[in-house]
Chain A
Amino acid sequence: MNAYPVSIVMIEDDEGHARLIERNIRRAGVNNLITSFRNGTDGLNYLLGADGSGQESASRSMLILLDLNLPDMTGVDILTKVKANRHTRRSPVIILTTTDDEREIKRCYDLGANVYITKPVNYESFANAIQQLGLFLSVMQVPTTD
């Protein structure tokens, strides 16, 4: 484990989805701090700070769970900004979305997304995917920029 515990930043507009994701992560035995945001503006404010410099994230060790369809902006906008900022670009980004559009998946990987998960309507597989993600989170190393 790192000197700084990894915190999970979740940007997900659907409250129900956020709740289900959180429950399943916890079920997998992951107890890291989860910070939730309901829209892109608030999420970006947290990640990059009000001035957009990202200085606040310099000492954070984060994993970002990102929904692509947000009411105020697209997740792709957030992904682009996160991967362009020197303080946040090393933070793993996991895309969680309902669309399985080939071009969109490719685009996200091109922009630097680490994992792309489609939210299936079938809850079993959804819960399974999230729990495995939790296992993955428990072993991964996330660097900081310091």
Chain B
Amino acid sequence: MPLFSSAFARRTVSLLFLGVLALLVIVAAAGWLSARTGAHTEEVIRARDLRMATGMIQTALLDAETGQRGYLLTGENRYLEPYTAALPAIREGLATLGRFYLQPDRPDERLVQLKTAIDGKLSELAETVDLAKTGRRDEALALVRTDRGKATMDRIRTILDGLIAEAEGRVSRRLADLDQASQLLLWVSGLGALLIVLFAGGAAWVVVQYTAQLVAARQELQLANASLEERVAERTTSLTRANEEIQRFAYIVSHDLRSPLVNIMGFTSELEVGAEVLKRYLEGDAMQADKAKVAAIEEIPEAIRFIRASTGRMDTLINAILKLSREGRRELNPEPIDLVKLFAATAASVQHQLDEADATLTVPDKAPIIVSDRLALEQVVGNVVDNAVKYLARDRPGRIAIAVNSSPGRIGIAISDNGRGIAEQDRERIFELFRRAGTQDRPGEGIGLAHVRALARRLGGDISVRSELGRGSTFQIDLPARLRPGESHSHSKVTT
């Protein structure tokens, strides 16, 4: 997994981008809605002003009419005051209305009518007041009685009522619009907030996931590193051991093959010397008679005997090396093996020798199943048991015991005897090729244990010995409970 995954980057960035987009939408919507709210508010204020202006005109007209009536009734100027005060208010009201309605492109019909009606009403009022001022009160009253003023007033009232109704309608509509806009703003903000929370949460989740993946990957890497170091150390140890074994092997082989060669060369020369003596004697040198006799009867046959023995020895050594080499190359076939049966078979094969030596061999009646190579395991156990029987102490009845001790993944086979034991300095040496320990009173080539160790190591295990000289030995064979095919340790192969 790369340190910084592009998928991760894409996901985080796109989530952040969506969040920013949501914010922009909210800001735009809020801006648009507040602009709309401003417009609505303005409209409401205008409608209210309109309503006020209309009301003002109505009140002022009524004032003017009241003043006119009072003056007509009493003839006193005092009652005319409301009339005079109302006139500017009416003009102001009309001007205000005009500001709202008198738009050059779309003149309002009702305003024109209102203006005409108000003009009519004012002129009727002015006419009656003028008549009364000049003392013609009756004429003025007659004018009032014509109902011209009332009719005009009624029309004005109708128009004004219409305007008021319209203004109020506008106010309530605008208020409803305002309400709707603020509701919409609320929704948009809520939805936007929800989206931002979702995107932020998504981004956080992605980051958390990615971090968790990183942590897991790092842990895996650390584990792999640790086990890699372990494996390298293991391999290094086994390679070092293999190298030492090969050096030791080469040393032993060169020495042991050289010994018979020295003999062959030496006794060949001795043969020549003997032949020379014989030749001189046969040529008539009587001085050589005794020497010739010794040469013919002792020296020459002795030399031939040694040469023959040495070639035989070389042949044995070469065969032993070849055997080890073949064992090292043999394909291992792991299969489940019942150790109890294997021990029983081993015991049966040495029963004759045991009887002769008055010795006993005890085997366990319970043992775990091991997965290993049957032939190799038989040879390992058989060789060690053979040795135990071969090197028993003569002064006491032999006791040989096989025991199994297993730990998780490993199975140990301990073969102990009460035989003659192995001196401390020989405990490693006995596993070397052509080396033997103790009194040399038994036939043998010094191959068995070297072979056993090579096999045990090929099976993924090893063999070691604990011993007390004169008391007995315990050979501990340690093996994996399950030999995996192809796991065989190539270093124990003997290359020739």
Chain A residues proximal to chain B, CB less than 8 Å: 14-17, 19-20, 23, 38-39, 41, 69, 71-74, 77, 97-99, 101, 119-124, 126-127
Task: Check B259–A123 contact: CB distance below 8 A.
Answer: no
> Cβ of B438 and Cβ of A16 under 8 Å apart?
no
CB under 8 Å from chain A, chain B span 387-442:
423, 425-426, 429, 435-440
Task: Assess whether A71 is in contact with B436, with CB atoms less than 8 Å apart.
Answer: yes
Additional A-B contact list (11), CB under 8 Å, known A71-B440, A98-B262: A16-B267, A17-B266, A20-B267, A41-B439, A71-B435, A71-B446, A72-B426, A73-B423, A77-B425, A98-B258, A120-B262
Assembly CA distance A135 to B226 (angstroms): 66
Are the CB atoms of A99 and B255 closer together than 8 Å?
yes
Knowing A14-B263, A16-B267, A17-B263, the reply to whether A39 touches B440 (Cβ < 8 A) is yes
Q: Pick from B254, B260, B266, B437: contact of A20, CB below 8 A.
A: B266
Number of interface residues of B (CB under 8 A): 31
Q: State in angstroms the CA–CA spacing of A15 and B260 once bound together.
A: 10
B274 to chain A, nearest CB (A): 11
| Contact (A73, B426) CB under 8 Å given A99-B251, A101-B251 | yes
Query: Quick check: B265 and A122 within 8 Å, CB to CB?
Result: yes
**Which listed residue, B259, B268, B302, touches A14 by the CB 8 Å rule?**
B259
The answer to whether B309 and A74 touch across the interface, beta carbons within 8 angstroms, is no
Nearest to A121 among chain B residues (CB) is: B261
Alpha-carbon gap, A77 to B440, bound state (A): 17
Interface of B is mostly: helix
Q: Tell me the complex Cα distance, A143–B261, Å.
A: 36
In the complex, what distance in Å separates the CA atom of A70 from the CA atom of B268? 24
Residues of B within 8 Å of A123, CB to CB, are 262, 265-266, 268-269
Contact B425 A16 (CB under 8 A): no
- In the complex, are the beta carbons of A121 and B425 less than 8 A apart? no
Q: With an 8 A cutoff between CB atoms, is B346 at the interface?
A: no
**With contacts A15-B306, A71-B446 known, is A98 near B270, CB below 8 A?**
no
Given contacts A71-B436, A71-B440, A72-B437, contact A98 B267 (CB under 8 A): no
- The answer to whether B440 and A72 touch across the interface, beta carbons within 8 angstroms, is yes
A27 CA / B317 CA spacing, docked (Å): 32
CB neighbours of B426 from chain A (8 A)? 72-73
Choose from A15, A41, A77, A127 the contact partner of B269 (Cβ within 8 Å).
A127
**B residues within 8 A CB of A119?**
258-259, 262
Residues of the A chain whose Cβ atoms lie less than 8 Å from the Cβ of B262: 14, 16-17, 20, 98, 119-121, 123, 126
CB distance from A68 to the nearest CB of B (A): 8
Q: How far is the CA of A119 from the CA of B255 in the complex (A)?
A: 10
